[in-house]
Amino acid sequence: MKDMLQSPTRRQLLSMIGKTAGATAMYQAMTTLGFASESSFKEAMDLKGAPAGASIVILGAGLGGLTAAYELRKAGYDVKVLEFQNRGGGRSWTLNSGDKYTELGGEEVTCDFEEGNYFNGGPWRLPSHHYAVFHYCKQFGVEMQPFIQTNDRAYLHRTNHFNGVPQRLGDIKNDIQGHVAELLSKSVNVGGLDRSVNTEDKEKLLEGLKGWGVLDKDYRYRASNETTKHRGFSVFPGGGLMPNEKPSKPLPISEILDSGMWGDIYSNHMTYGHQPTMFQPVGGMGKIGDAFTRECRDMIEFNAKVTKIHQDDTGVTVDYVDSNSPDGATKTIRADWCVCNIPLTVLTQLDINVSKPMKQAMAAVPYDTSYKVGLEFNRRFWEEDEWIYGGLTYTNMPITQIAYPSENMFKDGSGVLLGAYGFGATSYKFNTLTPQERINVALAYGKYIHPQYPKEFRAGTSVVWHRIPWTLGCYGIWSESSREQHYDNLCSIDNRIVLTGEHCSHIPAWQEGAILSGIDAAKRLHKKAKMLG
């Protein structure tokens, strides 16, 4: 083992490089698909001069639809919004104490948290480079607070490594840095970089590596008083006659590489979307949807289930019924133009006459699946027992991650953790569980990271997005080829109809994408309406 620490095998070195390449490749893929993109928002809209008497019907009161509604009414249009639910905001949604909803299959999901506690079923954090979100939040008076994405006191966990004991994220991060610095110093010292740097540069590089990796005089990464300044103590400094502090012991590089924890750090904390300062609305992400709804409330008809969308050369006719009464009478609304914010998973099942390219584009975008479980505990033990204030823990168990609240720190009494959140194959498994079973599973796995779970648990709630009737999925998935073939057709104005929503953006899954699509749709529709008079 000693030799392995000093001279990792070629396989281990390639594994290390692979982890780094994987993070870079993931970032590039995320940028291509829109996940890590910076917003293109530059300035507020100022549409003017709507044709006299021109009318617009907007289908769906998600953020894309409400952005378009807000801006188009300011331009002078007669705007009407039809919304399937009894609230606006779409996936900008927070479950508060007493809330309940019915998912596909008829199961009722309740939120029995104490007053003041909440759970974000959809979006839960905002990168500071999503400028359009913050523009409207400031305009509508939505108060923000910092969201802590990275916390070195949170954990990285693997069931089959380190005897299943969670490791502090900061310890893994510092150990990786130290071991890499040691390896690089060896490369410098044995002449491996002679063709790249001169003697003076080598000396500067070695000195820099010594500080960056906290190496000793022999350029080794070992437990010392200096490493404690970075990774902490096994016995912390005290006062009086308390035991003397002791430096913590770095983990072997081979075990870190085998565990795959390197990837957790670089793919979850160093992508562009998570690097900037992040924020959250005070009181839950739903405050954004609430604010948009408040500004547009007089335009919205709730509980309106659209059944048919028919356009002709002069306008659009929409049939709808009361969503609380499936056997109710059909109502009809007629408008000059239509902005459709209905998720594609639902829209493709409706009777709508659009062009063949638009139809093909609508059918070309599948929706990802995702699950979330919120767990309320009698006390904030993660703070009181483990000094964790905000941040995320990652694990290879099906719950995938645990997120600690960035609000109400040091508060006495109960608090809420995001006890499970993930995508892909595991999400389909969560979809098959009842609401109570999801809570039970999150508790059963979570106790291996936080043994306090069984004693402190109070209540739970959940969202599995493929069982949410009004979206039938989490967000639109684009590939490079599907975007090249279908994206422009999906976003183009099809005679009298234009689509909006996060699926009509280069930032899918983010509220910024939905808002930007609403801005762009409103601008293009206004231009065409003025041209036609």
**DSSP assignment of 387-441:** ---S-EEEESSTT-EEE--SSSTT-SS-EEEEEEEEETHHHHHHHTS-HHHHHHH
More confident residue, 260 or 267: 260
Q: Is 462 exposed, middle or buried (0-12, 13-18, 19+ CB in 10 A)?
A: buried
Question: Can you tell me whether residue 126 is helix, strand or coil?
Answer: strand
pLDDT the model gives residue 533: 77
DSSP class of residue 504 equals: G
Q: Is the pLDDT of residue 319 over 50?
A: yes
pLDDT the model gives residue 195: 62
Q: Of 266-270, 273-277, 439-443, 475-479, where does mean pLDDT reach its minimum?
A: 266-270
Q: Is the pLDDT of residue 11 over 50?
A: no
Q: Is the pLDDT of residue 236 over 60?
A: yes
Q: Which two tokens stand for residue 211?
A: 């500080």
Query: pLDDT-derived band of residue 23, with 50, 70 and 90 as boundaries?
Result: very low
pTM of the prediction? 0.87
Q: Is the pLDDT of residue 267 over 80?
A: no
- Residue 170 CA to its chain's centroid (Å): 22
Query: pLDDT-derived band of residue 230, with 50, 70 and 90 as boundaries?
Result: confident
Q: Is the pLDDT of residue 39 over 80?
A: no
Q: Is the pLDDT of residue 106 over 80?
A: yes
Distance CA 97, CA 236 (A): 40
Q: Of 51-55, 325-329, 498-502, where does mean pLDDT reach its minimum?
A: 325-329
CA distance readout (Å), 490 to 113, 362, 476: 41, 7, 12
Summarize the confidence of residues 396-417 as an average pLDDT: 97
DSSP class of residue 496 equals: T
Residue 305 β-bridge partners: 321
Q: With pLDDT > 90 as the criterion, what percentage of the chain qualifies?
A: 74
- How high is the mean pLDDT of the chain? 90
* Beta carbons of 187 and 162 less than 8 angstroms apart: no
Helices (H) then strands (E): counts for the chain: 18, 27
* Beta carbons of 43 and 136 less than 8 angstroms apart: no
Q: Is the pLDDT of residue 241 over 90?
A: no
DSSP class of residue 128 equals: T
Domains in the chain and their CATH numbers?
A: 2-33+159-259 (1.20.1440.240), 55-85+291-366+478-532 (3.50.50.60), 96-127+144-153+276-281+368-467 (3.90.660.10)
Q: Is the pLDDT of residue 444 over 90?
A: yes
Render 270-318 in DSSP notation, one character per residue: SSTTTSS-EEEETT-THHHHHHHHHHHGGGEESSEEEEEEEE-SS-EEE
Give the residue carrying structure tokens 């936080």.
450
DSSP class of residue 219 equals: S
